[in-house]
């Protein structure tokens, strides 16, 4: 009677290393085996195992630079190795029609579902073409994946803010709405941000100051979505001033400049930009001199006080985190409906933010009364007079 086998079929060193290289291949190249969506496959048979085999050889060369890697496996051998990974729960016991990957990578099943939801809303609602393409690939790749709780693609969360202009170059072509703006060159801008590379951009629209038109040398810092569109936060090379400009107001031409700097410098200036956004109201950041004074706490701030009455006061009272400097003084006197008769909204802002704050305030109409400062009272009075003249 033959003795029972005591060694594992993968106990041989070469066989074991072959399996480890396969695991490394799946870990480094999630989705390997999926057909290229840009490749015309109408007349070709897709061989997923051949793609895995090719990538296995590339990984083996990187792991064994001296050339002593195990013998490359045949596709039947790779198929057998994949079955073993399923047996031990490293792969799920199902067909992988859209590429192989190990579990959910660094994410749990629920975290992966949340990430998919966030990627989808960035791609579909905010119109980011890169996120849209990534979501399409992941959705295809994850077909058949067993999530813990129901359908991963059900949109539990959604951001309804949408851009008011075209953002996806491919969609522009399909709709016949090609506008030749900076969205066509956004991958190069993203690369320049990460490489701390200065660029020459071409601003073709300036809504408030025509002197800002034309070529400008900048350090791109971050691509930001705000309210109705995508903006570029950048730093001017000539005076270090920080600016936010809407992406579709720049032309598609960009030129790489010779200046570079460290990523740490990028982070520091990005932090300065966000500090200005945090302390101000809206996207207007002021000029370079104002920014330096403001960040050094040497710039006098406007002490703004607005009295809101119903129905606008109800919305003001519930928004307790509208701005870091805000205070609410709620009247103890109640009206017939039991609500406070008014609330005084007080906030400290740099002068650069006055215009955008006023635009926000006037949407409350007669429910908002300016108490201070005089410069805002005068600005609001002029606006009311202009409105009255326009409707008479």
**pLDDT digit string, tens, across residues 336-349:** 989 999 999 999 99
pLDDT at 266 over 90: yes
Specify whether the CB–CB gap between 182 and 251 falls below 8 A.
Answer: yes
221 shares a domain with 312: no
370 shares a domain with 309: yes
- CA 373 from centre of chain: 37
Which residues lie below 8 Å from residue 104, measured CB to CB, with a gap of 6+? 111, 112
Last residue of a domain, one of 248, 265, 295: 295
267 shares a domain with 318: no
The CATH number given to whatever domain includes residue 353 is: 3.30.1370
Say whether 282 sits in a helix, a strand or coil: coil
CA gap 365, 166 in Å, rounded: 32
Least confident range from 45-49, 129-133, 237-241: namely: 45-49
Residue 127 Ramachandran class (φ > 0 left, ψ -120 to 50 alpha, else beta): left
51 shares a domain with 68: yes
Specify whether the CB–CB gap between 261 and 195 falls below 8 A.
Answer: no
In a domain, 133, yes or no: no
263 shares a domain with 196: yes
287 shares a domain with 200: yes
Specify whether the CB–CB gap between 181 and 248 falls below 8 A.
Answer: yes
* Residues in a beta bridge with 242: 235
290 shares a domain with 320: no
CA gap 387, 392 in Å, rounded: 9
In a domain, 165, yes or no: no
CA gap 258, 181 in Å, rounded: 23
* Domains of the chain: total: 3
In a domain, 197, yes or no: yes
Which residues span the domain enclosing 380?
A: 302-391
| Helices 129-141 and 186-194: angle between axes, nearest 10 degrees | 90
Specify whether the CB–CB gap between 69 and 56 falls below 8 A.
Answer: no
DSSP string, 293-329: HHHTT-SPPEEEEEEE-TTHHHHHHH-TTS-TT-EEE
318 shares a domain with 245: no
The sign one gets for the Cα dihedral 71, 77, 83, 87 is negative
Last residue of a domain, one of 87, 118, 148: 87
Residue tagged 């200065």 (tokens): 198
> By percentage, how much of the chain surpasses pLDDT 70?
93
In a domain, 95, yes or no: no
227 shares a domain with 286: yes
319 shares a domain with 290: no
Q: Are strands 229-236 and 368-372 parallel, antiparallel or unpaired?
A: unpaired
273 shares a domain with 307: no
Of 268, 259, 228, residue with least CA distance to 246: 228
CA gap 87, 284 in Å, rounded: 59
- 210-265 pLDDT per residue, tens: 667 899 999 999 999 999 899 999 999 999 999 999 999 999 999 999 999 999 99
What distances in angstroms separate CA 373 from CA 17, 292, 376, 385, one per listed residue?
Answer: 75, 24, 6, 19
What distances in angstroms separate CA 133 from CA 27, 67, 141, one per listed residue?
Answer: 21, 37, 12
In a domain, 161, yes or no: no
Last residue of a domain, one of 87, 104, 119: 87
In a domain, 114, yes or no: no
Specify whether the CB–CB gap between 364 and 310 falls below 8 A.
Answer: no
pLDDT at 42 over 70: no
In a domain, 273, yes or no: yes
Q: Where does the chain have alpha helices with state H?
A: 13-28, 48-63, 75-87, 109-124, 129-141, 169-175, 186-194, 263-279, 288-295, 312-318, 354-361, 374-391
In a domain, 206, yes or no: yes
Q: Which residue has the higher pLDDT, 9 or 321?
A: 321
pLDDT at 43 over 50: no
Least confident range from 95-109, 139-153, 189-203, 354-368: namely: 139-153
258 shares a domain with 218: yes
What distances in angstroms separate CA 312 from CA 131, 309, 316, 317, 346, one per listed residue?
Answer: 38, 6, 7, 9, 15
* pLDDT (0 to 100) of residue 339: 92
Tell me the average pLDDT across 311-317: 95
Residue tagged 């997923």 (tokens): 48
Mean pLDDT value across the chain:
89
Tell me the average pLDDT across 296-324: 96
């Amino acid at each position: 009677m033959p003795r029972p086998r005591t060694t594992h079929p993968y106990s041989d060193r070469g066989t074991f290393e072959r399996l480890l290289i396969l695991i490394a291949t799946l870990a480094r190249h999630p989705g390997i085996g999926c057909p290229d969506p840009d490749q015309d496959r109408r007349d070709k048979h897709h061989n997923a195992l051949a793609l895995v085999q090719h990538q296995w050889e590339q990984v083996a060369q990187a792991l064994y630079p001296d050339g002593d890697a195990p013998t490359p496996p045949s596709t039947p051998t790779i198929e057998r190795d994949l079955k073993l990974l399923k047996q031990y729960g490293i792969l799920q016991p199902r067909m992988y029609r859209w590429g192989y990957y190990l579990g959910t990578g660094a994410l749990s099943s629920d975290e992966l579902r949340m990430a998919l939801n966030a990627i989808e809303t960035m791609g579909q609602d905010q119109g980011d073409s890169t996120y849209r393409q990534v979501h399409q690939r992941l959705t295809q790749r994850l077909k058949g994946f067993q999530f813990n709780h129901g359908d991963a693609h059900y949109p539990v969360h959604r951001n309804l803010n949408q851009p008011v202009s075209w953002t996806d170059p491919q969609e522009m072509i399909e709709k016949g709405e090609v506008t030749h703006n900076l969205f066509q060159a956004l991958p190069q801008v993203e690369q320049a941000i990460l490489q701390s590379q200065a660029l020459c951009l071409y601003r073709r629209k300036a809504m408030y100051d025509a002197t800002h038109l034309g070529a400008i040398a900048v350090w791109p810092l971050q691509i930001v979505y705000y309210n109705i569109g995508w903006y570029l936060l950048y730093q001017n090379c000539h005076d270090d001033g920080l600016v936010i400009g809407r992406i579709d107001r720049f032309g598609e031409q960009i030129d790489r400049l010779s200046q570079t700097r460290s990523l740490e410098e990028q982070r520091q200036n990005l932090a300065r930009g966000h500090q200005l956004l945090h302390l101000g109201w809206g996207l207007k950041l002021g000029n370079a001199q104002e920014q330096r004074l403001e960040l050094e706490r040497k710039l006098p701030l406007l002490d703004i006080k607005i009295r809101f009455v119903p129905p606008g006061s109800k919305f003001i009272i519930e928004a307790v985190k509208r701005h870091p400097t805000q205070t609410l003084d709620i009247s103890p006197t109640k009206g017939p409906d039991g609500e406070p008769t008014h609330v005084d909204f007080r906030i400290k802002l740099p002068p650069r933010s006055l215009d955008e704050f006023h635009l926000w305030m006037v949407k409350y109409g007669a429910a908002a009364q300016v108490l201070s400062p005089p410069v805002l009272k005068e600005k609001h009075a002029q606006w009311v007079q202009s409105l009255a003249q326009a409707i008479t």
